[in-house]
Amino acid sequence: MLAVILLVVAAPLTGSPGATVGAVVTAVVICLLALATWPSEWGDTERVHHELAWIWRRLRADAEHEPGWERYAAWAEAVGDEVELQLICCAPIADRVAGAPSPFSRLAVRRLDAEDVEGAAEAMEHVRGEAAEREWRARERHERADMDAASRVCDERLSEIDSDAAADLAAREQQLRHEFAEQEAVERRAQAEAVAQALRRL
């Protein structure tokens, strides 16, 4: 509406026909801003992401922390007249653009009768244990990979040092051989000169 009003009143208010051009440009900018800020409904993928992010923040005090391994938490959700036990996973995704792809996923583990409260509580403890075990294994894999990477870097550095040392030793040996050859040549020339002098005196 503001864009239309600008187009209608620009020329009469300013008395300049050039004001219409400015009004058109301003109207286009206003329309683009309106399109950019207009609220839109979430798609299925975005809705699931926000739902899982909300669950994750509720379950984990360290929700904002982003280590380099997968983290897990146990969650229970009512599905009809049953209770579904789920594992919520937060994966380490370094390269995200505007929040995508989502680091969250869910795995349905078991469905239980809502009337079996004691069995549901026991099953939930089992799922929590599985979540802790999966996270521990993921952390162990990550730390082992870091150690392997550090070991490879160390091995490469030692190999470079060995190569440099071998090259330096070869260069020094070559230099010693060269110096020895020069010394021998000097001695042979001196001996030749001495022999020549002795022969001249005969």
Residue 99 falls within a domain, yes or no? yes
Cis peptide before 101 (omega within 30 of 0): yes
Quote the pLDDT of residue 73: 93
- What string of pLDDT tens digits covers the 202 residues of the chain? 555 555 555 555 555 555 555 555 566 666 566 555 655 566 778 888 889 899 999 988 888 888 888 999 999 998 888 999 999 999 887 655 555 678 899 999 989 888 888 888 999 999 999 999 999 999 999 999 989 989 899 888 988 898 888 888 888 989 989 989 889 888 888 888 888 888 878 7
Residue 81 falls within a domain, yes or no? yes
Quote the pLDDT of residue 65: 83
Quote the pLDDT of residue 62: 86
Total H helices, total E strands in the chain: 4, 3
Residues 128 and 60 in one domain: yes
Count of domains in the chain?
2
Residue 124 falls within a domain, yes or no? yes
Quote the pLDDT of residue 97: 55
Residues 27 and 108 in one domain: no
Residue 106 falls within a domain, yes or no? yes
Q: Given 123, 148, 173, which residue is the final one in a domain?
A: 148
Residue 9 falls within a domain, yes or no? yes
Quote the pLDDT of residue 126: 94
Residue 74 falls within a domain, yes or no? yes
What b-and-e string marks burial along 104-126, b requiring 16 or more CB atoms within 10 Å of the CB?
Answer: bebeebeebeeeeeeebeebbee
Structural domain harbouring 11? 2-37
Quote the pLDDT of residue 74: 93
Quote the pLDDT of residue 119: 87
- In this structure, are residues 77 and 107 in contact, taking their beta carbons and an 8 Å threshold? no
How many whole angstroms separate alpha carbon 142 and alpha carbon 135? 10
How many whole angstroms separate alpha carbon 82 and alpha carbon 111? 6
Short-list 8, 16, 122, 145, CA closest to 76: 122
Quote the pLDDT of residue 14: 57
Residue with tokens 């004691």: 118
Quote the pLDDT of residue 75: 93
Residues 53 and 142 in one domain: yes
Residue 181 falls within a domain, yes or no? no
